[in-house]
Structure 1
């Protein structure tokens, strides 16, 4: 089922619910209200993707590539592509690219071909530029948000063999690469956090024994009721009318600035959210997260913390440290002055005790956070959107526009017991 068929199915279901309530001369039930809310959000998301796919289709249709003989080889007809293929193309675009390629932005630019002058009323409706899955699509492939869009797959270029030496060093992981992602259908939900695990499984003999010896073992599972609430992660910049009219410049600006800043605030709240004053609860303030005191040295302390996770059946997927502590690990030497890590000329991923060592500027110096990072979830509610308007302060008179990016999402930590905060200072 392609995008348009999915959208039609959502709209048909909405019409069906409305018709049923009307025929019975009643208001919507609570279940119907909940379903309408979910269907509306899904329909909006699909509608945005259809529009983005149409814009991508129009762009690709204009692309040509020169053949080796000097002629022009037209790319494969994009009209023959499915909506799913177009959706894949759109996912390769950065946030800024999707914004300037949206129907709303293109229509607004078309109405002002000579640019935006003083007094031009600017108000671009909210333009959805993707979901969390789209947001991190390029990150997963190791692409930069402001990298040019690669269209080589459409040109059917002959496969070539690349030098393997450049492929041995992967792009460094970030904290946001480690966590899990999903979706949430409402403003919040309650869930049980696993804060402690006690495993007492044992062999029980079949033969008759004294009463005090035949008691079967019982394992323990401590839980805490938590709420995952949707919050708005946002950032904005003031740009000139000229920049707003210049699509490539604006796309580059959005990719390079807004995406980086929103990543930073998400990472900060996942780590340090206070849980009060309109903030989600981050790892540092979550009950049930284990603690490891300093033991002998930094390396020993990390190993002790790994044991705390593995002894309850968890897996340590990464160790996250501050830039300062990452430097200290790299500079560790043995008694003869040799670097433990291989020295400044070595290449390859940074690890400690076989686990990836990931750097975050938002982790306090002297602290390491490690464990099963897959238990930390960022749940998409409305996806990414960009707005632009000059009805802000005196911007209209100064030929300025406020461009704002927003993401609505919830964060949840399902198994705090599988995370450990380690103290690396003596």
Structure 2
């Protein structure tokens, strides 16, 4: 068994213990607490060994690049794949043929004014990039958005990062643009009827109707960039580490914004807040979050009274999340878990996910599986200094791009709750 296989086995065992306790609606047993502590120690040890092996491999690749002589001709190479054995996106970039050729040309680093054009390097697919999302990633695959408000044990070893919209939506792949029917409403008239209906009988076969709207799913390039120095670009292990941290922030920011606020014009996709058929409910804000609390309960009813309607999560701003946590009764006691409580945060039993792209006061809830992000061309990285005055300042612009398209299958399964104008 490899180190990474052992790590996955340890994580799965821990996830199985958590899932069993949640399913049986109980605290951890003493044996389970002991085993979780053991798994934590073993996991930390294996992760340290994996990191050490990765660092050694990246350092060896960097030293091999320094040993080669630089060719005279400048580098101008187009799109290429990466080393399939590399694990992280940063490692795939620094182990790619394009980056290796760049290092051979500049074994001792970049001089002032040196031209940099590493080209486009495909480092993976959208599925790989989103694989670490807590809500849907194996082995921690719990019921999406339905975290039960159970009482947690005194010692909580479970990692519960804040969920975002990218943890809630569906994912898939697509070959290119296509048209589809958005279901904006359904009228169901199913009933029991006689086996035979004679002329003149009042009873007739029932007819149900589905209200739809034709929509386009088009590929868009979601991109964001960040600046690095020539020295960092030439240091493969450090560059890989930096990119692994920045890739998530760079792409999450723009994709989350377009999923919510995309106008659908000027070459941009159409987000939830501009999609026809998404329900809406307004409320009058008060001095605390209680008016919003009650409005969300009414919104849940508007979704769950639809045939098959479900609320998998409530997406709100960090400011609203704070207002919910600070709700107190007349004696000053917190309605929620208070500053020393642990466990999942919920809104009427539905998971609370956070988004900085939502204005305070506005909450979106419903069946988030009806929103999908479909991978078209995967995730790529480009690095060049033909940007502003970067060549003179010894800076390089590194850009991460994802070519994908977003769809909303059933807009009426989502509802926007916001303050009355």
What is the match of residue 320 of structure 1?
315
Contact residue 320 and residue 358 of structure 1 kept, 8 A: yes
Within the alignment, does 1:228 sit opposite 2:217 as a pair? yes
More helix per residue: 1 or 2?
A: 1
* Cα distance in 1, alignment partners of residues 410 and 201 from structure 2: 34
SS at match of 1:396: helix
Within the alignment, does 1:347 sit opposite 2:342 as a pair? yes
Contact residue 142 and residue 171 of structure 1 kept, 8 A: no
Tell me which moved more, 209-218 or 333-342: 209-218
SS at match of 1:257: helix
SS at match of 1:316: coil
Within the alignment, does 1:414 sit opposite 2:398 as a pair? no
SS at match of 1:165: coil
TM-score (norm 2): 0.71
Q: Deviations over 1:270-289 (max 9, x none)?
A: 00111111111000000000
Distance change (3 Å), C-alpha of 1:164 and 1:342: closer
Within the alignment, does 1:182 sit opposite 2:176 as a pair? no
User: 5 Å matches for 1:389-408?
Assistant: 389-408=384-403
* Cα distance in 1, alignment partners of residues 159 and 120 from structure 2: 39
What is the match of residue 120 of structure 1?
114
SS at match of 2:155: helix
User: 5 Å matches for 1:151-162?
Assistant: none
Within the alignment, does 1:138 sit opposite 2:132 as a pair? yes
Contact residue 198 and residue 221 of structure 1 kept, 8 A: yes
What is the match of residue 369 of structure 1?
364
* Cα distance in 1, alignment partners of residues 157 and 254 from structure 2: 31
TM-score (norm 1): 0.70
* Cα distance in 2, alignment partners of residues 234 and 224 from structure 1: 29
What is the match of residue 24 of structure 1?
none
Distance change (3 Å), C-alpha of 1:61 and 1:397: closer
Question: Among residues 49, 53, 57, which one is paired with 1:59 in the alignment?
Answer: 57
* Cα distance in 2, alignment partners of residues 401 and 62 from structure 1: 24
Within the alignment, does 1:330 sit opposite 2:325 as a pair? yes
Contact residue 292 and residue 361 of structure 2 kept, 8 A: no
Distance change (3 Å), C-alpha of 1:172 and 1:142: farther
What is the match of residue 418 of structure 2?
423
Contact residue 322 and residue 359 of structure 1 kept, 8 A: yes
Q: How far did 1:192 drift?
A: 0.4
Q: Deviations over 1:179-224 (max 9, x none)?
A: 11111112x1110000011122122234768836212222221000
What is the match of residue 280 of structure 1?
269
Give ranges in structure 1 of 5+ residues lacking alignment.
1-55, 64-85, 144-162
Contact residue 225 and residue 250 of structure 2 kept, 8 A: no
Contact residue 196 and residue 288 of structure 1 kept, 8 A: yes
Q: How far did 1:353 drift?
A: 1.3
* Cα distance in 2, alignment partners of residues 208 and 268 from structure 1: 55
Distance change (3 Å), C-alpha of 1:164 and 1:343: closer
Tell me which moved more, 259-268 or 101-110: 101-110
Measured on the aligned residues, the alpha-carbon RMSD in Å equals 3.0
What is the match of residue 51 of structure 2?
none
Give ranges in structure 2 of 5+ residues lacking alignment.
1-53, 62-82, 138-152, 285-289
What is the match of residue 302 of structure 1?
296
User: 5 Å matches for 1:56-95?
Assistant: 59=57, 90=86, 92-93=87-88, 95=89
What is the match of residue 20 of structure 2?
none
* Cα distance in 2, alignment partners of residues 111 and 337 from structure 1: 67
* Cα distance in 1, alignment partners of residues 200 and 279 from structure 2: 37
Size of the aligned set, in residue pairs, is 327
Q: How far did 1:129 drift?
A: 1.0
